[in-house]
Amino acid sequence: MSDKKIDLATNILKIRFFEEKLLDLFSEGELQGTTHTCIGQEATAVGVVSNLNKQEDFIFSNHRNHGHYLAFKDDYIGLMSEIMGKEGGVSHGKGGSQHIHSENFVSFGIQGGILPIAGGVGWVKKLEKKKSIVTIFIGDGTLGQGAFYETLNIISILKIPIFIVIENNGIAQTNAIENHLSGTISGRISAFSVEFEEMTSTNVFDINLKTAEIISKIKRDLIPRVLIVNNQRLGPHSKSDDYRDISEIEKLDPIKILESELKLEYEKIMEASKRYIEDVYYEVSKRKYIKEY
């Protein structure tokens, strides 16, 4: 098993254990507000983000941002502190789970709100002749927002090097895609003459290879591209707001795929990742709560 594969697997497991810990803390009444986990979708986050340049590139994310942030910044203590309202939180306690800002990473809870901002940042980087690209993560449900089409229009006309990753988990809150999206996602993108590819996968290694290709094309040609990843949300939208029977989609759990690919090495990586998150929690639990604003 190559170091790269072990790294991808470790990131997925750390993100999963981090979010499971958050859910436990919510159940124990330790956390306020809400949170949206990316449980089941970690392979998209890790597969895409591992191909980005952590210094030069930008990520704009959404309400389901933990995996994107952790894969990009590796800042488990900062995010857990933020969500627990402790000192040292990445957004200084003002962002909670949804509004994360750290240099070249921004997430925002209003669906589609990040799109025009990300388009503007991409435009500035192009004018500055920087090789950095802006990656945007949105869900299928966000294709109901007009800002998506305005952004597609302008990035297509101005040839802004932006990578839009649409995580199509087939659901928006409790609303299945067939009830909220007419036509097809790809049809909507091709209407704006934006290049796109589509894959159905929860295998981090496959997503990583595909996005390496797309990102190098964006950096070479300096035009926007879209990747639609058909994946699965294994948990509720937020907490307990779900009606699906997940027994069928559970088979697509990215961790089950890792288990079968990593074989003997899996147990070792899994145990180390679990311990890592327990250490993160231990560190954050010792911190003071921030004062009220």
Ligand X SMILES: Cc1ncc(C[n+]2csc(CCOP(=O)(O)OP(=O)(O)O)c2C)c(N)n1
Q: Which residues bind ligand X (CB under 6 A)?
A: 63-64, 109-111, 139-142, 169, 171-173, 233, 237
Residue 268, SS3 per DSSP: helix
Any contact of residue 140 with Mg ion (CB under 5 A)? yes
Of 126 and 233, CB closest to ligand X: 233
CA-to-CA separations, 155 to 117, 168, 268, in angstroms, rounded: 12, 21, 45
Closest CB to ligand X among residues 39, 270: 39
Instruction: Decide which of ligand X, Mg ion, none touches 142; Cβ closer than 5 to 8 Å per partner kind.
Output: ligand X
* Assigned token pair, 131: 């090789």
- Per CB under 5 A, does 19 bind Mg ion? no
- Which helix (H) or strand (E) is 228 found in, with range? strand 225-230
Q: Which is nearer to Mg ion, 141 or 254 (CB)?
A: 141
Task: Pick the stretch among 39-47, 77-85, 132-140, 246-254 that binds Mg ion (CB under 5 A).
Answer: 132-140
Residues between 221 and 240 that touch Mg ion (CB under 5 A): none
Which residues are CB-contacts of 290 (< 8 A; sequence separation ≥ 6)? 85, 86, 87, 89, 92, 93
Q: Does residue number 139 form part of the binding site for Mg ion (CB under 5 A)?
A: yes
| Spatial CA neighbour of 61 closest among 51, 72, 50 | 72
- In the complex, minimum distance from the CB of residue 188 to ligand X, in angstroms, rounded to a whole number: 14
Q: Which is nearer to ligand X, 8 or 172 (CB)?
A: 172
Residues in region 79-98 near Mg ion by CB under 5 A: none
The DSSP element (H or E) to which 118 belongs, if any, is: helix 114-127
Residue 19 interacts with which of ligand X, Mg ion, none, CB < 5 to 8 Å by class = none
Smallest gap from Cβ 98 to ligand X, in A, equals 8
One-letter amino acid of 52:
L
Tokens of 259: 């288990």
**d(C-alpha 116, C-alpha 149), whole Å:** 10
14 binds, among ligand X, Mg ion, none (CB under 5 to 8 A by kind): none
CB of 25 to ligand X, least distance (A): 21
3-state helix, strand, coil in the chain (%, to 5): 50, 15, 35
Residue from the set 40, 78, 95, 141 that interacts with Mg ion by CB under 5 A: 141
Q: How far, in Å, CA of 139 to CA of 111, rounded?
A: 9
Site for Mg ion in 142-171 (CB under 5 A): 169
Q: Which of 97, 108, 102, 103 is nearest to 142 (CA)?
A: 108
Partner in contact with 109, chosen from Mg ion, ligand X, none, beta carbon below 5 to 8 Å by kind: ligand X
Residues of this chain that interact with Mg ion (CB under 5 A) are: 139-141, 169, 172
